[in-house]
Amino acid sequence: MIPSYYEFLNSVKIISGFKALEHIPSELQNLGGKRPLLITNDFLIKIGLVKTVLDAFGQCDITIGAIYDSVPPDSSVKVVNEASKIYRENKCDSIIAVGGGSVIDTAKGLSILITEDTDDLIKFMGAEILTKKRAVPFIVIPTTAGTGSEVTLVAVIANPERNVKMEFVSYNLLPDVAVLDPRMTKSLPPKMTASTGMDALTHAIEAYTCIQKNPLSDAYAFAAIKIIGENIISAVEDGENEIVRLAMANASLMAGAAFSNSMVGMVHAIGHACGGVSHIPHGDAMNILLPYCMEYNIEAVGDLYGEILLPLCGVEVYASTPKDERGKKCIEAVRQLQIKLRNLSGLTLSLKEAGVKEKDLPNIANTALNDGALIMNPKEADFNDIMEILKEAY
Amino acid sequence: MKDKNIVPKSKKIKSFFARVILYFLGRAFVASAKHDIYVKKEIENWPDSLKILIKIQSFGPCLLMKKEKGTLKYLGSKEEDCEFAVYFKNIETALLVLTGRLGIDMAYAQHRFSMKGDIIAFGMPFVRCLYIVEAHLFPSFIAKKILKRMPKKGTSSFKIYMGTLFGI
Ligand SMILES: [Fe+2]
């Protein structure tokens, strides 16, 4: 069904494949960058991934202006300001982010500071408020196959001083280039591969079933689910396999493009709250909550879960399942996939196991109510509904 | 070809209509913040003196409200720098929302407005308040169409109507 109205933008150039990193210098030159600031974290330096990126700049006309390697697991205004200081002190002219969601959010925050020529991010909070076109070339190299942040229009940056979780939603945050190179995700341990992969699956499933869905986001989501269905187990079993890693990186990116244009729903609203209150990793929260939220939403999504049974499980399963049972079968397939992943990698399947305290559940539910993603969910959910889901997932 | 600037015709009637609706919406918000326990609860955590603006781009009309002494105050159809603001991108789609033909969640999904400020602290509670105000103002056959689920009302709609019309 065609929505009565929708908008879609994915302006990011995608370069994907073997030796993709080596193409970055020429991409940067095309964008007019000569002295990039490289934003990353110390762990990625330690395991040698940043060196792999730096080596790709050999024999070319580009100088790395500086490296900012102090991005913590959750980005904050202090981090963005520090990065900004280093950017200016070293006369950098472009940004390269190497990392996961937090590194990429930091880079997006920095791009706002540079473009708006300001040192105060808080003024620019909101949705579609940034009107100035980004004034700095911006390249992203994701090191997990999950967040999809390399193609999304969102950044979340904490402001602990004012006790605000700052949200920025703007097409101007989309990077210029996203670089998918299998070397970047090869060293992800099996459990992380599994949970970040389930995060990507959640992006695709929510994008396909929430109220902002449109034909273009559907196409991205559908394709992402197919690749994840075909590759996630192999990626966990055989992390060294570069073809499988590249496939998962592509799926994650496509799921990101899908949800950048069809915002995620309650799995993320509740999952963000689990992260905020109980500090459990985002992928773990997604994985745990996904089937429970699907069960909650199934009556509101019509045939949509049934439709994605096809890319998730393949034509045999789809064809042999009667039409009106496909939705339920899809949820069952998600659960089966989780059990396989758990056996292979020790993926956590309950909130309790993930370290959430039972007394925190009401606080999580209250926090989830104020997450913007909840608006996009196909079915309304109040405090009691969310508590029910949390208790089931506990 | 004429060589002068072409200024598209203004939409005076629609703009006037929107101004009237925003006026009543503002008063309904104020009445709800006074009488409806759920709306009261939603705005409880907002800081005193918080200002909220709804504006239709590019030339208005607007709706400006302020939190004062635990309740809301209607400040008229003027634009001021606010902590939280909703900017409808054009008059046509603003009217769809204001006349109950498009829900606020679908309007957000369809990029019909932009939002300035803290979405978590102000945006989400504001949306839930709007759900309740709409449930009071619109006849239920309209409200059911634009709301995924009817919100709980914390007072009678009669009271909200009286408050909106007569300020009581
Ligand atoms: Fe996610």
Contact criterion met (CB below 8 Å) for A378 and A301: yes
Residue B96 lies in a domain: yes
Question: Nearest CB to A5: which of B108, B110, B147?
Answer: B110
Q: pLDDT tens digits, residue range A296-306?
A: 999 999 899 99
Do A146 and A284 reside in the same domain of the chain? no
Contact criterion met (CB below 8 Å) for B123 and A125: no
In sequence order, what are the beta bridge partners of B48? none
Question: Nearest CB to A129: which of B105, B116, B125?
Answer: B116
Do A19 and A146 reside in the same domain of the chain? yes
Do A112 and A209 reside in the same domain of the chain? no
Do A232 and A335 reside in the same domain of the chain? yes
Do A350 and A277 reside in the same domain of the chain? yes
CATH number at residue A360: 1.20.1090.10
pLDDT score for A390: 97
Residue A110 lies in a domain: yes
Tokens 């102090």 sit at which residue?
A: A70
Residue A4 lies in a domain: no
Residue B156 structure tokens: 């009678």
How far apart CA B93 and CA B79 sit, in angstroms, is 20
pLDDT score for A295: 96
Do A127 and A194 reside in the same domain of the chain? no
How far apart CA A166 and CA A124 sit, in angstroms, is 9
CA of A268 to the centre of ligand 1 (A): 6
Residues of chain A predicted below pLDDT 70: none
β-pair type (A154-159, A164-169):
antiparallel
How far apart CA A326 and CA A337 sit, in angstroms, is 16
User: Residue B12's pLDDT band (boundaries 50, 70, 90)?
Assistant: confident
pLDDT score for B163: 86
Number of domains in chain B: 1
Last residue of a domain, one of A184, A204, A221: A184
Do A27 and A172 reside in the same domain of the chain? yes
Distance from CA of A223 to the nearest CA of B (A): 22
In chain A, residues with a C-beta closer than 8 Å to the C-beta of B111 are 7, 128
Model confidence at B25: pLDDT above 70: yes
| % pLDDT > 90, chain B | 67
Q: Residue A109's domain spans which residues?
A: 13-184
Distance from CA of A212 to the nearest CA of B (A): 5
Do A68 and A176 reside in the same domain of the chain? yes
Residue B91 lies in a domain: yes
CB-based contacts of A349-354 (< 8 A; 24+ apart in sequence): A349/A287, A349/A288, A350/A288, A350/A393, A350/A394, A351/A274, A351/A278, A351/A280, A351/A288, A351/A390, A351/A393, A351/A394, A352/A394, A354/A274, A354/A278, A354/A280, A354/A281, A354/A284, A354/A285, A354/A288
pLDDT score for B2: 61
Does residue A56 sit in helix, strand or coil? coil
Residue B7 lies in a domain: no
A125–B111 CB contact, under 8 Å: no
Cβ pairs bridging A and B (under 8 Å):
66
How far apart CA A98 and CA A142 sit, in angstroms, is 6
Residue A2 lies in a domain: no
Residue A5 lies in a domain: no
Do A195 and A73 reside in the same domain of the chain? no
Residue B1 lies in a domain: no
A211–B119 CB contact, under 8 Å: no
Q: Which of A240, A148, A229, A246 is nearest to A190 (CA)?
A: A240
Residue A202 lies in a domain: yes
Number of domains in chain A: 2
Angle between helices A266-278 and A361-369 (to 10 degrees): 130
Question: Nearest CB to B119: which of A4, A5, A127?
Answer: A127
Contact criterion met (CB below 8 Å) for A327 and A306: yes
Q: What is the ipTM of this complex?
A: 0.91
pLDDT score for A289: 97
CATH number at residue B109: 3.30.1050.10
Last residue of a domain, one of A127, A149, A184: A184
Model confidence at B167: pLDDT above 90: no
Do A106 and A202 reside in the same domain of the chain? no
Residue A140 lies in a domain: yes
Last residue of a domain, one of A184, A205, A229: A184
User: Residue B168's pLDDT band (boundaries 50, 70, 90)?
Assistant: confident
Residue B161 structure tokens: 């109507």
Tokens 């999952």 sit at which residue?
A: A271
Residue B64 lies in a domain: yes
Does residue A147 sit in helix, strand or coil? coil
Q: Residue B73's domain spans which residues?
A: 12-166
Do A213 and A345 reside in the same domain of the chain? yes
**Does the CB of A383 have a partner CB in chain B at under 8 Å?**
no
Q: pLDDT tens digits, residue range B64-102?
A: 999 998 899 999 898 999 999 999 999 999 999 999 999
pLDDT score for A332: 97
C-alpha angle A69-A74-A78 in degrees, rounded to nearest 5: 65
B108–A375 CB contact, under 8 Å: yes
How far apart CA B110 and CA B107 sit, in angstroms, is 5
Q: pLDDT tens digits, residue range A346-393?
A: 999 999 999 999 999 999 999 999 999 999 999 999 999 999 999 999
CATH number at residue A55: 3.40.50.1970
A211–B114 CB contact, under 8 Å: no
Model confidence at B1: pLDDT above 80: no
Question: What is the number of other CB atoms lying within 10 angstroms of the CB of residue A391?
Answer: 13
Do A170 and A198 reside in the same domain of the chain? no
Contact criterion met (CB below 8 Å) for A249 and A241: no
Question: Nearest CB to B105: which of A164, A211, A370?
Answer: A211
CA of A32 to the centre of ligand 1 (A): 32
Q: pLDDT tens digits, residue range B94-123?
A: 999 999 999 999 999 999 999 999 999 999
